[in-house]
Structure formats: C-alpha cells, structure tokens
A = this chain, B = another copy of it.
Amino acid sequence: MGGVSATDSMVLGGLFGTAPMRAVFSDEQRVQAMLDVEAALARAEAATGVIPKEAAPAIAAACRADLYDLADLGRRTAPAGNPAIPLVKMLTDKVPGDAKKYVHWGATSQDIIDTGLMLQVRAGLDVLLPEVAAVADAAAKLADAHRKTPMAGRTFLQHALPIPFGYKAAVWLGLAARAHSRLAGIRRNGLALQFGGAAGTLASLGGDGTKVADALARELSLPLPDMPWHSARDRIADIAAAVAIAAGSMGKIATDIALLMQTEVAEAMEPTGEGKGGSSAMPHKRNPVGATLAIAAAAQAEARLPLLVASLRQEHERGVGMWHAEWGAIAELFLLTAGAVNHVRIALEGLTVDAARMRANLEATNGLIFSEAVTMALATTFGREAAHQKVEHAVKAAVAAKRHLREVLAEDKAIADALGKDGLARAFDPMSQIGASDEFISRALGSWKKSRNQ
C-alpha cells in the first residue's frame, strides 16, 4: 500500500509529474546513484593505490541496483536512520573475497547519499533543461508570430492599453529563457562532489584524502569543491532556489493562460484532447486543465523551497534532522517542477490564439483603452498632467453617455485642434500604439537564441 503523496500516487501522480523525472528520482535510481558512488570510489581508490587494484572491478560488479531487494533495504533503513548504512552492508555481503574489505573505504554515509543526490540532480537537470527550452521555444514562436496581433494589455485585471499578443508571449519567453539559463548555470557550476569521511576531514584516508577526492570527482565528472560540505548546505539551497523559481515562472504563464481562457475573455485556449478539460457535471465546459495542474504543481514545488533553505541551519559537522528532511524535498521539488513545466509546454505548443476575439475585446470598452494614447498625444501640447485631466474628463463623459471616447474627444475643440484628425485616428489604432514591442520581442528572441545553445 502506498501512493500517499502527490508525486507517487498511482491515481494522482500523473497530474503533477512526468515519467522521465519520476525515473530519475525513483527508488531504483536513488539506490543506483549511491551504488554508482561506491563503484567510482573503489575505482578512484584503486587508481590512487589506496586499495588493491583488483578490488575495484569486484566492488563495481555488485553496484547494480537490480541486485538489491529495495523493500528489504527499506526495512533496514528505518532503524539505521539512513539508507547508506544498510546498503553498504548489503553491498559488502555481495562482494566476493578480499575485495569485500575495501567497500566504502574511508567514506561516510553522507558522502554516498549526498554525492548520489548530486548525480540524481544532474540527471534531473538534464531532463528539465530541454523541457524548459521547449517552453521557451514555444513562447518564442508565439512571440514572433504575433508581433502584429493586437489585444488588450491588462494591469490590475483591467484593460490598460493595447499590446501585441507577441509582447505577452515574449514576457513568457523571458521567464522561460532565464529559468533555463539559471538551471544551466547550476548544471555547470552548482554541483559538487561530497567526500569527507566521518567528520569531513577524510581522516580515515590519512594523507591520501585529497588525492582520492580528486580522482573520485573525475570519475563522476562532478566539480571538486574546496572541502566537504556535510553541514554547509548552501549548494542545496541554490539548486532548490533555481528549480523553485523555474516552477514559479511556469505558475505565472499558467495563470495568464487560465485568465485568457475565461468565458468572458476567451482569447486563447489550451489544446484540448480526449477526455481533457471536461467536467463530470457540465458538458459544455472547456476547463483550463493544463494551466490548473501547472499552477497546482508549481505551488507544491515552491512549498519545498523554505524547507531547503531552513536546512542551512545544521548543527556542527552533521545535523540532527534537517539533512534528512532534504532527501524527499529535493526529489519532490524536481518532480513537481517537471510537471509544471510539462503542462505549460503542452499548453503553449498547442495554444489556440483567437485574434478576432482579442480585437473584439479591445473594442468592447468604446475606446477607453486608447485613453493613454490620447493622453500622450495631447501631452506635447498641454503637458502630461493637464492632458491626463482632460482625458480623464472625456472618459467620464463617454462612460456616462455610453458613447465612444473618440466621438467625445472629437467634440472638444481644444483637443481636436491639438490632435488633428489623423492624430485622433492614430490614437485609436491599436497597431500604432504598440511602442517598442517589436524591438522588445526581437531582443528577447535574440537573447534566447544565444543562451539556448550555451
């Protein structure tokens, strides 16, 4: 019996995670990662002459997760307090002959667990990065395609002034591109070998400690830190922050999609699919299921971050509890973030954009959305403050009389003179009100093109 958590439930898990990320942080992979570290340790120690040459292949041969009974390992983990203690015992039992003596040589549980985690994190980033890139690609495509699709820009959930939909998509692109770059930075510089022995000093290896550490880092292709970090957890917090911010960025895009899909707005729609977005009670609904699940996954992912920052406060050379609290939190964070990214990717790649409805909504307020444009056009003549007041006055008149703002303005002689007929028309043409959007979109596309392939 299992499936308690949002991430592992057979019933709910598909809502919030993805299969490839689930594989990276599965029990099998958790154990395999620890065994990979043991095997690499043996190789590194053999290569540096710390243990006999022939011990390494004998140990490595037993470092396959499929040789272990995970349920049994679990039963032995509970009293031991961590999985490395029983795993090392089980591994030692499997290694034949003299090599048995050299299993886990000089290492401590935390070396194996932390370094194993780093291997999983690396694999997790390798799963996440192309998915985030795909979100950026999809947003980039929308940004480029909709440079000239005017819609209402909305601030405080109110019509503000016209923007091209491509501008909004470029904001999404920026979020995804920076999430990608942040995660890629962690992939390059944020990982670190953990290898310090019982109290971090590698005392168990006498004078050979750094030599083995160097070799082990090379074996695993992990950056070698200046020293162990058993109770210095800022790297974990860095990783968690980068992933949680990626999740939160997906939450923002998903929120926009859900808002755009509102019955009264209806400007963009997630792709629909067999059995997707329906309602058990209301046959007509087209629920923003993907956006909803992305928001749910992102919120759950973010909720792991404070724990992983609080875990900085660990006691002395190894803490009482907060290290253990990291294990699940990191894995859950990655899986939930993968879920959020996946839902947003699907939504953006299949987004139906209803340009006609965007245009219709722009017109729905009798020209009020163009009031900033009018204000700025008048400001050269009257100054910003006076222009603002004049337009505010006209807006009130237009609303009261349910007339189009353009008509009301045209009847005010001072305004009409200041603008001229063309000026008035221009102020009410959305595509002449998009300012620097095109340049902004180009810059965002250009940056993504550059950073994508770094």
Q: How far is the CB of A108 from chain B (nearest CB, A)?
A: 5
Nearest Cβ on chain B to A397's Cβ, whole angstroms: 11
Contact of A289 among B31, B81, B235, B282 (CB under 8 A): B81
Q: Give the complex CA separation of A331 and B7 in angstroms.
A: 11
Which residues of chain A from 308 to 333 have any CB-CB distance to chain B below 8 Å in the complex? Answer: 309-325, 327-329, 331-332
Does B252 contact A248, Cβ atoms closer than 8 Å? Answer: no
Tell which of A125-133, A253-261, A348-356, A413-421 binds the partner: A253-261
Docked Cα-Cα span, A276 to B78, in Å, equals 8
**Which one, B101, B153, B372, contacts A384 given CB within 8 A?**
B101
- A283 partner residues in chain B, CB cutoff 8 A: 371-372, 375, 388-389, 391-392, 395
Given contacts A156-B292, A178-B234, A245-B241, contact A11 B74 (CB under 8 A): yes
A373 to B175, CA, bound (A): 42
Binary interface profile of A, 167-202, with partner B (CB < 8 Å = 1, else 0)? 110110011001100100000000000000111111
Q: Is the CB of A312 within 8 A of B79?
A: no
Please state if A284 and B368 are interface contacts (CB–CB under 8 Å).
yes
* A80 → B minimal CB distance (Å): 5
A364 sits at the interface (CB 8 A): yes
Question: A56-96 toward B: CB 8 Å interface, digit per residue (1/0)?
Answer: 00000000000000110111111111111110110010000
A435 within 8 A of B: yes
Q: Assess whether A400 is interfacial by the CB under 8 Å rule.
A: no
B305, A305: Cβ atoms under 8 Å? yes
Q: Mark A131-173, 1 if CB is under 8 A from B, else 0.
A: 0000000000000000000001111111111111001101100
Q: Are B280 and A313 in contact (CB under 8 A)?
A: no
**A302 at the binding interface (Cβ < 8 Å):** yes
Given A249-B312, A315-B256: A435 and B280 interface contact (C-beta under 8 Å): no
Q: A3-B27, A103-B385 are in contact. Are A303 and B303 (CB under 8 A)?
A: yes
Q: Is the pair A436, B202 in contact by a Cβ cutoff of 8 Å?
A: yes
Known: A7-B328, A16-B328, A171-B231. 11 other contacts (CB 8 A): A6-B325, A12-B74, A101-B383, A103-B385, A163-B200, A167-B227, A175-B232, A258-B321, A259-B315, A292-B320, A302-B310
In this complex, what residue of B is CB-closest to A154? Answer: B316
Residues of B contacting A254 in the complex (Cβ-Cβ under 8 angstroms): 321
Q: Please name the residue on chain B nearest to A445 by beta carbon.
A: B226
Interface residues of A, count at CB 8 A: 213
Whether B282 and A371, one on each chain, are in contact in the complex, defined by CB atoms closer than 8 angstroms, is yes
Q: How far is the CB of A270 from chain B (nearest CB, A)?
A: 11
Residues from chain B with Cβ under 8 Å of A83 in the complex: 11-12
* 14 pairs, CB–CB < 8 Å, chain A vs chain B: A13-B74, A76-B275, A81-B276, A81-B292, A108-B280, A109-B281, A155-B198, A160-B317, A174-B232, A203-B372, A203-B373, A258-B320, A284-B368, A288-B320
Contact of A209 among B205, B244, B436 (CB under 8 A): B436
B317 A153 Cβ-Cβ under 8 A: yes
A216 on the B face (CB < 8 A)? no
Chain B contacts of A78 at CB under 8 A? 14-15
B residues within 8 A CB of A376?
106, 203-206
Given A227-B443, A303-B306, A385-B103, the answer on whether A312 and B252 have CB atoms closer than 8 Å is yes
- Sorted nearest first, the 6 A-B pairs with minimum C-beta distance are A6-B328, A101-B383, A295-B321, A153-B199, A3-B27, A209-B436
Say whether B282 contacts A160, CB under 8 Å: yes
Q: Which of B27, B104, B310 contacts A310 (CB 8 A)?
A: B310
Most central of A107, A292, A365 by chain B CB within 10 Å: A292
- Alpha-carbon distance A134/B74, docked complex (angstroms): 26
- Whether B369 pairs with A284 at a CB distance below 8 angstroms is yes
* A435 contacts B265, C-beta separation under 8 Å: no
For A234, give its contact among B175, B230, B265, B433 (CB under 8 Å): B175
Give the chain B neighbours of A235 by CB distance below 8 A. Answer: 178
